[in-house]
Amino acid sequence: MQYTHTINDGIITIKLKGDLIGEDSGVDIIELVNDTIQKDVLHCIIDISELRYINSSGIGVLITILTKFRNKGGEVCLLKPSESVQKLLIITKLNAIFSIVQNESEAIDLLKK
């Protein structure tokens, strides 16, 4: 899996590409989140539009990210899940705990409330 990130106006956007299966990149993303939170960036958009597959370890990575931000009073939005990832979020009932949006402006509006 590959990922990139940007920080703008107090929001980190992490773009994931490929398969989120909890390999080393999952650990790297958690470290990135920890560093970001220490810099008082408390809102996160995770762009999963190019994520093909998530396994249980990958779900654990997403839940860990959500927990870290919420413990500091922040929030996380998932952006544009593919159809297969959307189905997985529904089956696992993660759609009830994550804010899932279809465009970046919607995510920013939700996080700035």
Q: What structural domains does the chain harbor?
A: 2-111 (3.30.750.24)
Q: Which two tokens stand for residue 58?
A: 């990958």
8 Å CB contact between 75 and 44 = yes
Instruction: Quote the pTM value.
Output: 0.94
Whether residue 113 has pLDDT greater than 90? no
pLDDT band at residue 106 under the 50/70/90 scheme:
very high
Whether residue 94 has pLDDT greater than 90? yes
89 Rama sector, left if φ>0, alpha if ψ -120 to 50, beta otherwise = alpha
54-83 tens-digit pLDDT:
998 999 999 999 999 999 999 999 999 999
